[in-house]
Structure 1
């Protein structure tokens, strides 16, 4: 009897030990480890009746060749823009008339689309097409692209394997300036719309197509969003889709699609140094060019701090990578998954992304020293030197914190040479009084903060990310296991003007290659023709799915 009592006692002790072990360990695990947001494929309820159309888009040689010809025509209609373009269209109507030619091309290429939509020209060349839905209670969907492209330098023409404005097509690839950024997106949007019209689709939800004409120079002439806000009001749109994101890539062994659900902030800043002039035969020890050279050294030595927080959608991108990667070291995985609650793990995660992967631009602000000018003559001391810096601002920082850090970096050089110091951000402010030896001005030319975060929970995200998954199941069966995760836009698009219209903004261009692999903005820009067909299928499906849902 004593033997059985002893066994019972020991069973109770062991049981209590197990219960306490679970009690103490499970909360720690559940609180410390974050999970990759799960996404399921989403398809419209009418998919079966539209499937043959999608297969025709993907596999018909007739459709493929006709689509390629539309892309070629868009490339051959040149729409380059430059930083020093006339700021007002009224200043030079003839210069901006290239966009009239482009709109005429669209009108002749897409007659069905023009028949079903109403075109509003905003600031002469901004194109806003409204495809009116039958239910005015539903918020409109906005689909975006831009008409303009970056220029081609004449110096590089000999390095192009295909004339940049010929639109060469070899059956597999289409080549030319602007094909990847982003005339393929603009043409694909209209092709998807015409295929829907051919199939008898009539939207419940209004669909708006908004195409700017100076995105590549920051969009100062883009009034489309302002016009839409006037017409519909604030928070009046269901969602906005524009170019951007990573459409399909393998990251640390994980097949991923990473649409941008936020963008870093943007700032152009000048450091202006003015010093007394004089004859170069009697120079001071350091001219203003030498002094600003020291500032450049200090600026390039300095590093912005890194962040790995849930304020940045790249946090979730790397959580998804860590959760699914067959290649990532297990200790790094553990650190990334615990980074939200563990300071040491967060430091390891930041260091891994910044140093080991070389992707620091997604976890910190960055600065690029892009333009320097100064001096007018070989035998005259330079009296004026100007350095232009481009800054992309991390989600966790502000325009003000970045300016303060830059000033702090150059301040020792200012003090060393006994200079005055001021800065101009919404008004001139003197930090150190003017000095005979010279004066330094830090001037913010243009700036805007990081974009608001797009929610990645709920029906909007489920339909958008689920459509990506379903489309790749249809167009690329070998992409099974694809993970869709939110990401940060390192560049900036015209969506910065649309923040008032909706909190659901997605920066994403479907296809096979991320833009950087397509040499966008570079020599020999191209896209695989298959990518373009995938883009058409995505927008065809997404419009159908959004049309079925209520707000």
Structure 2
């Protein structure tokens, strides 16, 4: 089915007996039914009593300095992980011992936290802390993060303004690897919990903290979720919170917070090409490197299609923008709100998003040609070349549809040069598409993939509380001078969304239907150079993490399942 037919079918099934309407560029249609899952600010009942604590976290210089030192010292402990790390801890215990150093630092820095929680070490370095609640019938709240950071390539060291592990603070911004992704979140959890403990807070609902140690390399050693499911059971958690999503962003003059309620699929694909070797003095017209180069160009010239459908939380993000922004371009607004009933409007929205590198991959599968290996010396024909491709798979697609697209690209090139072609998935036998030939053959294979995540519900009380907590923190605590009073700014819109990347939540799907990928803060991880040179945060954002979870833990504690 082509995309236009898909959109038409979607509209007829979804809208049913709803009257279709004519949109005007300056306003919503008369018969338009709002779709944005709006939430009002939600605050715990203890909010007023805890005002002095909140003011201390956000505004007290002494607290700020103490919090700064805690995060700085965490950043100074190198916990980098690499793609070629030992696959098991037992393979090289000494290599993984850096996480013992990090855990020892947590223990010495947060004694009150350790006093009130139980620590369980899973697969040596996975950390699971259980803060027991008094009501065992309530499902626990699970808060996640990861201890490891992406590596700092030695070749990039001269490009850093400040050394990446010095944790330099210039009075407003903190620089260093892990400052944004995501030691700020991990340390923020500890600080929020300790501030609650200092008030005498004893939870009714158990709170669990789970920290993996290889998230930056796909988390294959993360056994925390398996341990939790064995101990507590399937769907045993009230909600799960992790990094990800868009903390705060401005779109068409409107401030939005976009927790990740969905996550794209993940595919690492390897394409191997074997050809006869020989002396470079008598090369064929196309060596294996030349053939692979041709394939690379064909792949990049054949991008995946884009989609703008309600299957994708990004659709709801832009509907929320169109319904609530006072400054959005009126033509864009019209196209968004008619995108289900007009294929032309849908196309225009997709074209608008595809015009931005940062927006386009919310609505389509990415394809990044990341690594190529081949050849051994200048006078020997390359006998083996390998290309590595990473794709984050769109919500509307599957790992298998992405694989079919790549196989089509490879098949075209294989037939062009008279080569064989097979593919192989993890733990399965190879499947032959074209028989091997004397000229050589391709093998397309993968053992690193997972499908699109289940979507978190967005119209229930879980969502209203989480989204309401965001509005409470930013509109009432962080920036009351902007969002309160007679001259109040347009309110912050909290909408569902996705992040183009992936988190460790992929291992936790069985534990809860309510997974929120959201790290509070004033800037997204992309804006703060996470994984890049000069990674940084505005330190106010770290304090906002502390306040957010200080309030959210209490809010969740006050409700029943």
Instruction: Pick the TM interval, shorter chain.
Output: over 0.9
Q: Does 1:391 align with 2:391?
A: yes
Alignment of 1:270-419 (within 5 A): 270-355=270-355, 359-419=359-419
How far off its partner does 1:357 sit?
A: 7.3
State which drifts further: 458-467 or 518-527.
518-527
What is the RMSD computed on CA atoms of the aligned residues? 1.6
SS in 1 for 2:182: helix
| Counterparts of 1:326 and 1:356, CA distance in 2 | 22
| Counterparts of 2:173 and 2:507, CA distance in 1 | 33
| Counterparts of 2:333 and 2:407, CA distance in 1 | 37
Deviations 1:137-179 (A, max 9, x none): 0000000111111111222222222221112223322221101
Matching residue of 2:5: none
How far off its partner does 1:526 sit?
A: 1.3
Contact kept in structure 2, 1:270 and 1:445, CA below 8 Å? no
Q: Does 1:252 align with 2:262?
A: no
| Counterparts of 1:26 and 1:329, CA distance in 2 | 20
How far off its partner does 1:37 sit?
A: 2.1
| Counterparts of 1:48 and 1:291, CA distance in 2 | 68
| Counterparts of 2:46 and 2:390, CA distance in 1 | 47
Q: Does 1:500 align with 2:503?
A: no
Change (3 A) 1:307 1:35: same
Matching residue of 1:40: 40
Contact kept in structure 1, 2:34 and 2:323, CA below 8 Å? no
| Counterparts of 2:36 and 2:395, CA distance in 1 | 20
State which drifts further: 521-530 or 296-305.
521-530
Contact kept in structure 2, 1:242 and 1:495, CA below 8 Å? yes
| Counterparts of 1:25 and 1:180, CA distance in 2 | 45
Matching residue of 2:542: 532
Contact kept in structure 1, 2:248 and 2:257, CA below 8 Å? yes
Deviations 1:251-306 (A, max 9, x none): 11111111111110000001111111111111111111111111111101002111
Q: Does 1:488 align with 2:491?
A: no
State which drifts further: 472-481 or 329-338.
472-481
Contact kept in structure 2, 1:366 and 1:393, CA below 8 Å? yes
How far off its partner does 1:35 sit?
A: 3.0
Matching residue of 2:478: 475
Deviations 1:403-429 (A, max 9, x none): 001111222211111111111124210
How far off its partner does 1:246 sit?
A: 1.1
How far off its partner does 1:353 sit?
A: 1.2
Q: How many residues align?
A: 529
Matching residue of 1:8: none
| Counterparts of 1:157 and 1:357, CA distance in 2 | 27
| Counterparts of 2:190 and 2:329, CA distance in 1 | 45
State which drifts further: 104-113 or 404-413.
404-413
Asked which structure has the greater CA Rg, the reply is: 1
Deviations 1:352-395 (A, max 9, x none): 11126762101111100000111111111111110000011000
Matching residue of 1:177: 177
| Counterparts of 2:443 and 2:33, CA distance in 1 | 47
Contact kept in structure 2, 1:33 and 1:337, CA below 8 Å? no
State which drifts further: 330-339 or 353-362.
353-362
Deviations 1:95-132 (A, max 9, x none): 11111010000000000000000000000000000000
How far off its partner does 1:27 sit?
A: 10
| Counterparts of 1:547 and 1:274, CA distance in 2 | 60
How far off its partner does 1:327 sit?
A: 4.4
Runs of 4+ with >4 A deviation: 23-34
State which drifts further: 26-35 or 531-540.
26-35
TM-score using structure 2 length: 0.92
Matching residue of 1:148: 148
| Counterparts of 1:173 and 1:357, CA distance in 2 | 26
Change (3 A) 1:356 1:34: farther
How far off its partner does 1:24 sit?
A: 7.2
Q: Indicate which of 464, 467, 476 corresponds to 1:465.
A: 467
State which drifts further: 342-351 or 58-67.
342-351
TM-score using structure 1 length: 0.93
SS in 2 for 1:310: coil
SS in 1 for 2:164: coil
More helix by percentage: 1
Change (3 A) 1:265 1:193: same
| Counterparts of 1:495 and 1:288, CA distance in 2 | 39
How far off its partner does 1:30 sit?
A: 7.2
Change (3 A) 1:472 1:24: closer
SS in 2 for 1:517: coil
| Counterparts of 1:531 and 1:487, CA distance in 2 | 21
Contact kept in structure 2, 1:32 and 1:340, CA below 8 Å? no
| Counterparts of 1:396 and 1:37, CA distance in 2 | 21
Q: Does 1:543 align with 2:549?
A: no
Change (3 A) 1:357 1:179: closer
SS in 1 for 2:106: helix
Change (3 A) 1:32 1:411: farther
Q: Does 1:124 align with 2:124?
A: yes
Matching residue of 1:84: 84
